[in-house]
Structure 1
Amino acid sequence: MTASLHTLLDVALRTSIVYLFLLVGLRLTGTRQLGQMSTFDLVLLLIIANAVQNAMVGPDTSLAGGLVAAGVLIGWHRAIDWWRVRSRGLSRLLSGEGVMLIHNGKILQEHCVRAGITRDELQQALREHGVARVDDVMLAVLEPDGAISVVRYDDIKPGDRPHRRIRAIRRNQ
């Protein structure tokens, strides 16, 4: 059974709406979910995937309808990624920025709360980096991809820093 052009355009429109809605919705949940997915988060993601699949293709279960939906998703993803690479503002909007969680051995509690990181999760990340005490940490940052970067005081030693000029990378605009 083949789908009519009207049906395929309907699938494309529905898919676009769902993609953009999920892009905004998942961005609003914050960066923590990206790097630290729990069973709860995985179940939610699977349920959302099933729910939006029906919303994207509607009653059309044809191969053409599925291919149109997949093509639209890939197209939107490529277009937004192309634009994101060229626009720092859009990149910041979609990917977010790093959030400092520890500075000079002190946990920045209000930053942790804003980022949705509990003290236990922060302690776990420190252990994964081989750090036993918060006092040993010069800097810990929740990166836009959800990972937590940790810089210990003993990671930076006098003389380790290169003495040559470091050039900035310029983007073609």
Structure 2
Amino acid sequence: MWHDMLTVQLPIAEKVLRTVFVYAAMVALFRFSGKRGLANLNTFDFVVIFLLSNVVQNAIIGQDNSLLGGLVGAVTLVAVNALMNRWAVADTRVARLLEGTPTTVVEDGSVLENATRRLAVRPTEIEHAVRIQNGERISDVASARLEPDGQLIVELKSSAGNASRGDIQRLEERLASIEGLLRAAADRPSGREGAHDDGRQPPG
């Protein structure tokens, strides 16, 4: 039993290369499947993910069912993924190549249909992102873009956005100033009262 579990049935170098090649192929597939495929997975996307794991399993392990062989594949996957992440952080060109760049899907309240059609972004997804930002409708959007990681980033127009703390503080200061002016005006004697106070009788 221990012999079967710990004896690698394929050369370790072959298992490492199999894992690296499959990893590279999966990265390329997801890169060219579009940004939308990386977030907000629907039912079809989940089915593909589950099936992919079974499809590429034999390509990684080959005719090797040993425990040690599986561990070699797992360690290789984690190591390659860590190296790719560090490489992408260190070199922006690699990040753009592997992950892509943001794509604008809404500009000044108008949906860019060519971009949404190419990226397979539905209007309901944009509307949901707008509501998360406390907007009411797509016309309230100054700009919306789909990031390489599949996240939809929405920037509302200044007229549609919520008031910031700075806005509230400035409003409170103006109200306090107006309140002070009104109080000063109420405390100031009027001209008619001044005429009565100088001892002269008002004209009859």
TM-score (norm 2): 0.72
Whether the 8 Å contact between 2:143 and 2:156 is mirrored in structure 1 is: yes
Return 5+ residue gaps in structure 2 as ranges: 167-204
Asked if the contact 2:104–2:144 (Cα under 8 Å) also holds between the matched residues in 1, the reply is yes
TM-score (norm 1): 0.84
Aligned length: 161
Identical counterparts, % of pairs: 31
> Which residues in structure 2 correspond to 1:1-173 (within 5 Å)?
1=4, 2-4=6-8, 6-154=10-158, 155=161
Distance 2:133 2:163 in 1: 18
Q: What is the rounded CA distance, in whole Å, between the counterparts of 2:119 and 2:134 in structure 1?
A: 22
Greater relative contact order (Cα < 8 A, sep 6+): 1
CA RMSD of aligned residues (A): 2.2
Deviation, 1:120, is 2.7
Give 1:139 deviation, angstroms: 1.0
In 2, distance between residues paired with 1:10 and 1:153?
56
**Contact 2:36–2:150 (8 Å) recurs in 1:** yes
| Partner of residue 167, structure 1 | none
1:87 Cα offset (Å): 1.1
Which structure's residues are more often helix, by fraction? 2
| Unpaired stretches in structure 1, ≥5 consecutive residues | 161-173
Q: Write the distance in 1 (CA, Å) between the matches of 2:133 and 2:162.
A: 15
Cα-to-partner distance string for 1:127-172 (whole Å, 9 max, x where unaligned):
33332221111111111111111111133879x6xxxxxxxxxxxx
